[in-house]
Amino acid sequence: MIVSVGMDVVLVERFELAVQRTPLLSDRLFTESERTTASGNPRSPESLAARFAAKEAVAKALGAPSGLNWHDCEVVSDGDGRPWLTVSGTVAQAATALGITRWHLSLSHDGGIASAMVVAES
């Protein structure tokens, strides 16, 4: 059963400028595996913006509770490159409180816009 849905849209240029202005922002928002591809190369600004949108969409699906840790929600990719969510710590606690046991994720970026949609299921 669907518990909630979250969606977020990020302007890639604005996100990229924020990361350039604040060099440690990327470290604060993303885990090491989120910042790099499977081959170890840095992710593109579009890909990072989509991952940020995913984290925001998860927070919205949870009702935007305070105290969520950015690293407690991680976007990982399977062998085919399909994105998945893993949650731990503060995000997992908030999800458990709502009865959420499964996440569905869709990421997209085109025309300078990155977006993400999550569906939280029990």
Tell me the per-residue pLDDT of 27-40, one tens digit each, with 9 for 90 and over.
999 999 999 988 88
Kindly tell me if the per-residue pLDDT of 58 is higher than 90: yes
* 72: amino acid identity, one letter: D
Q: What is the pLDDT of residues 63-109, one digit of tens each?
A: 999 999 999 999 998 888 899 999 999 999 999 999 999 999 999 99
Q: What is the mean pLDDT of the chain?
A: 95
Q: What is the pLDDT of residues 6-21, one digit of tens each?
A: 999 999 999 999 999 9
Kindly tell me if the per-residue pLDDT of 23 is higher than 90: no
Instruction: Give the other-Cβ count within 10 Å of 110's Cβ.
Output: 9
Distance CA 10, CA 111 (A): 11
Instruction: Give the other-Cβ count within 10 Å of 16's Cβ.
Output: 16
Residue 95's pLDDT is what?
A: 97
Per the model's pLDDT, the better-predicted residue between 55 and 40 turns out to be 55
Instruction: Report the chain's terminal Cα–Cα distance, integer Å.
Output: 5
Instruction: Give the other-Cβ count within 10 Å of 17's Cβ.
Output: 12
Instruction: Give the other-Cβ count within 10 Å of 39's Cβ.
Output: 5
Per the model's pLDDT, the better-predicted residue between 52 and 39 turns out to be 52
Contact 110, 11 (CB under 8 A): no
> Model-level pTM?
0.95
Q: How many CA atoms lie within 13 A of 75 on its CB side?
A: 29
User: Any idea which architecture 2-121 has in CATH?
Assistant: Alpha-Beta Complex (3.90)
Domain ranges of the chain: 2-121
